[in-house]
């Protein structure tokens, strides 16, 4: 071969190598930034937004420049969060209501893979190279690892209870997952695929001023890693459980900060109301914000934007000016802002409003250190049709709202708290709160409208009776006399709330196999429940409670009787009787030792148990807190029998 031919051949080889390298780079790009689970995300060049519509089984694709909907893609039920693969060809969507992750081909705009994931998958994140997809399975207490070549689960990493939001470091080496109700964060080593550490967020120290003694961390909604990778901010609530419930002394917003070099909390950097969150209004009064829902950093790392889903505000923290909140955009347009994305230049924020099903556009005005964000234009409707009926949507809006100015009657005072502040995601916060009646375990709203009377002492029989909770604990609707008929506009609000509660599904235990009813152990547990254990005497019928049998001579549910209330030997020394309430003309007194029968459907998901939360497990209910034998006859049961009975109870849905 001559020199000229050799040079020509070498040039061809080099061109081929370059083409191959270019194809390889294009086909297998690597992401170089940290990511977090979100319900609204932006692609790399900032041209396109993807939104998980939460209640509506669709993903909306938005052109960020024209502010128009490009496409609405059908997906599985209750899409919670989504993630874009590093090459931006795939969009993964976690659907809590379907126990499924859908994978969308971005170019085609349709679902190409459906992955079955037990335990209500909530968070999804791709590894930096796109070879793995991480999925947090909320009810299953694990993080699943999916091989994106085969779309099969290759590893199930056990973690603490209730993993939801996640964040992955830029190099993909560490995956953080928050535990929704327990105030903990697991640190997963992605190379060994093991949880190597659990960080427990610290309680707010007790102080004489109850507004500064803010309680225990819970309801962890979001975690976001700073651009330099050294910090992670976690949005959550603080709940005072050792003082009587009062709207301005019980529930507080907070943002905790983790040092990611040591994987430890930095307590001195926590952002709390009246301290680091202390922006004054025109009357020099601290602006109350509530229910933090999402966090994004400005690309230069100098400012942090935190959505307050309850009060419907946007709070700006300036890290160049001490790290405290410096401004608040009051009332983001829309209802229940739940998701946040920021443009690549940091000039614009995109807010996903979960209840009004639209997107708000906010200018950050970050170039001016003394200017706060401002609304830019009108909202964009994201869906063609709401999956919820108008009355259910109205009820859900009310349930998640702490906006004191928006509705016909204020459901909370001064934007402090929403129903969801205690009943997280419509269910329970897993805490035992102090009340005038004594310690009370926050009940789940699952089946609340189908299981008879309300409250642990069964002292309410009408959902409108909850005006007593709104007035006494949330500080709202104080101008109405609870002993008199409520105005039509207020009655309509309670009707809408009740209709929403009817839609909350009974959780399904992912640890129970589909064929459990055919096993000898389950059959033995059912036999004990209905026979020797005598459980069915109170936990009867389809909903496993006899509360609905407390009726008057006309067959109507009533609070004017102590029937179907029971002394099960669990009275707490702090329990106090109830002299009655004005809704019932003070004719429904309750002694401190009689309790209503809760449903057992979905009971696996509602620890702790009993009215005072004194039983951490079902076994504790049956044995540890049943010393008098009044709560089922278990005295002669063997360990095998107790396991069988527990299995049966945990299978009820």
Measured distance CA(330)–CA(403) in Å, rounded: 10
pLDDT score recorded for residue 174: 98
- CA triple 513-519-525, angle to 5 deg: 100
DSSP state of 383: -
| Over residues 385-401, mean pLDDT | 98
DSSP state of 412: S
Q: What is the pLDDT of residues 272-287, one digit of tens each?
A: 999 999 999 999 999 9
Instruction: Find all residues with CB under 8 Å of 294, minimum gap 6, and list them.
Output: 38, 221, 222, 224, 235, 306, 307, 309, 337, 338, 339, 340
Q: Which helix (H) or strand (E) holds 3?
A: helix 3-27
| Over residues 232-246, mean pLDDT | 95
Which candidate, 180, 185, 255, places its Cα nearest to that of 218?
180
Give 351-377 as a DSSP string. EEETTTTEEEEEE--TTSTT---EE-S
Burial class for 38, CB neighbours closer than 10 Å (0-12, 13-18, 19+): buried
Does the pLDDT of residue 357 top 50, yes or no?
Answer: yes
Q: What percent of the chain has pLDDT over 90?
A: 92
Q: What is the pLDDT of residues 400-446, one digit of tens each?
A: 999 999 898 999 999 999 999 999 999 999 999 999 999 999 999 99
Q: Output the average pLDDT for the chain.
A: 94
Per the DSSP assignment, residues forming a β-bridge with 158 are 142
Measured distance CA(458)–CA(551) in Å, rounded: 12
Q: What percent of the chain has pLDDT over 70?
A: 96
- 77-81, 239-243, 525-529, 612-616: lowest mean pLDDT where? 239-243
Does the pLDDT of residue 7 top 70, yes or no?
Answer: no
Does the pLDDT of residue 12 top 80, yes or no?
Answer: no
pLDDT score recorded for residue 492: 97
Q: What is the pLDDT of residues 174-226, one digit of tens each?
A: 999 999 999 999 999 999 999 999 999 999 988 888 888 899 999 999 999 99
Instruction: Find all residues with CB under 8 Å of 34, minimum gap 6, and list them.
Output: 167, 168, 169, 170, 225, 227, 229
The two three-digit tokens of residue 531, written as one number: 């026979």
Measured distance CA(168)–CA(177) in Å, rounded: 9
Of the pLDDT bands very low, low, confident and very high (cuts 50, 70, 90), residue 15 is: very low
pLDDT score recorded for residue 28: 63
Measured distance CA(62)–CA(337) in Å, rounded: 17
Does the pLDDT of residue 47 top 50, yes or no?
Answer: yes
Write down the residue that tokens 């509506």 correspond to.
56
Measured distance CA(263)–CA(286) in Å, rounded: 33
| Over residues 371-383, mean pLDDT | 97
- Asked if residue 572 has a cis previous peptide bond (ω within 30° of 0), the answer is no
Which candidate, 38, 43, 297, places its Cα nearest to that of 164?
38
Q: What is the pLDDT of residues 465-517, one digit of tens each?
A: 999 999 999 999 999 999 999 999 999 999 999 999 999 999 999 999 999 99
Phi-psi region of 632 (alpha: psi -120 to 50; beta: other; left: phi over 0): left
Q: Give the distance, in angstroms, between the CA of residue 532 and the centroid of all CA atoms in the same chain.
A: 39
pLDDT score recorded for residue 434: 95
Measured distance CA(625)–CA(403) in Å, rounded: 41
Quick check: 85 and 48 in contact, CB under 8 A? no
pLDDT score recorded for residue 206: 86
């Amino acid at each position: 071969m001559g020199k000229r031919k050799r040079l020509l051949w070498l040039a061809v080889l080099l061109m081929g190598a370059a083409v191959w390298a270019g194809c390889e780079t294009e086909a297998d790009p690597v992401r170089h930034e940290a990511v977090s689970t979100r319900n609204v995300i932006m692609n790399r060049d900032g041209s396109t937004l993807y939104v998980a519509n939460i209640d509506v089984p669709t993903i909306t694709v938005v052109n960020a420049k024209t502010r128009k909907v490009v496409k609405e893609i059908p997906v599985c039920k209750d899409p919670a969060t989504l993630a874009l693969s590093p090459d931006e060809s795939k969009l993964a969507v976690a659907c809590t209501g379907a126990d499924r992750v859908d994978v969308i081909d971005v170019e085609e705009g349709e679902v190409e893979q459906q992955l079955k994931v037990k335990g209500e998958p909530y968070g999804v994140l791709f590894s930096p190279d796109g070879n793995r997809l991480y999925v947090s399975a909320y009810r299953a207490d694990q993080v699943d690892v999916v091989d994106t070549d085969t779309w099969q689960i290759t590893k199930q990493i056990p973690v603490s209870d209730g993993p939801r939001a996640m964040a992955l470091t830029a190099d993909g080496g560490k995956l953080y997952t928050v535990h929704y109700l327990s105030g903990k964060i697991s640190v997963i080593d992605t190379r060994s695929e093991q949880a190597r550490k659990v960080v427990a967020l610290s309680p707010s120290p007790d102080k004489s001023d109850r507004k500064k003694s803010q309680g225990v961390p819970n309801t962890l909604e979001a975690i976001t890693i700073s651009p330099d990778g050294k910090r992670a901010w976690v949005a959550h609530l603080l709940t005072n459980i050792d003082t009587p419930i009062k709207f301005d002394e019980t529930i507080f917003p907070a943002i905790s900060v983790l040092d990611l070099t040591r994987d430890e909390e930095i307590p001195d950097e926590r952002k709390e109301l009246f301290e680091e969150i202390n922006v004054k209004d025109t009357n020099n009064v601290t602006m109350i914000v509530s229910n933090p829902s999402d966090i994004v950093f400005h690309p230069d790392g100098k400012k942090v934007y935190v959505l307050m889903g309850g009060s419907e505000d946007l709070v700006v923290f300036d890290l160049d000016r001490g790290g405290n909140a410096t401004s608040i955009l009051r009332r983001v347009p829309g209802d229940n802002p739940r998701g946040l994305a920021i443009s690549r230049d940091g000039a614009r924020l995109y807010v996903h409003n979960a209840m009004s099903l639209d997107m708000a556009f906010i200018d950050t005005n970050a170039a001016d250190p003394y200017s706060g964000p401002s609304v830019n234009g009108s909202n964009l409707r994201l869906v063609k049709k709401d999956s919820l009926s108008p009355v259910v949507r109205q009820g859900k809006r009310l349930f998640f709202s702490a906006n004191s100015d928006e509705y016909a009657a204020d459901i909370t005072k001064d934007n402090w708290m929403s129903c969801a502040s205690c009943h997280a995601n419509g269910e329970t916060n897993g805490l035992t709160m102090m009340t005038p009646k004594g310690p009370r375990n926050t009940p789940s709203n699952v089946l609340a409208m189908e299981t008879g009377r309300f409250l642990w002492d069964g002292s309410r029989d009408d959902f409108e009776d909850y005006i007593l909770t709104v007035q006494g604990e949330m500080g709202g609707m104080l101008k109405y006399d609870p002993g008199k008929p409520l105005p039509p506009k207020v009655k309509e609000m309670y009707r809408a709330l009740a209709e929403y509660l009817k839609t909350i599904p009974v959780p399904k235990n992912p640890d129970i196999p589909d064929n459990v009813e055919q096993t000898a152990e389950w059959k033995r547990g059912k036999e004990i429940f209905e026979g020797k254990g005598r459980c069915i005497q109170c936990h009867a019928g389809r909903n496993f409670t006899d509360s609905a049998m407390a009726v008057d001579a006309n067959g109507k549910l009533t609070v004017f009787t102590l029937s179907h209330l029971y002394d099960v030997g669990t009275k707490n020394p702090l329990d106090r009787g109830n002299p009655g309430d004005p809704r019932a003309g003070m004719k429904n007194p309750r002694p401190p030792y009689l309790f209503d029968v809760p449903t057992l459907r979905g009971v696996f998901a509602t620890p702790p148990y009993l009215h005072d939360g004194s039983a951490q497990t079902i076994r504790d209910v049956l044995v540890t807190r049943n010393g008098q034998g009044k709560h089922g006859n278990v005295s002669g049961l063997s360990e095998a029998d107790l396991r069988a009975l527990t299995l049966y109870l945990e299978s009820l849905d």
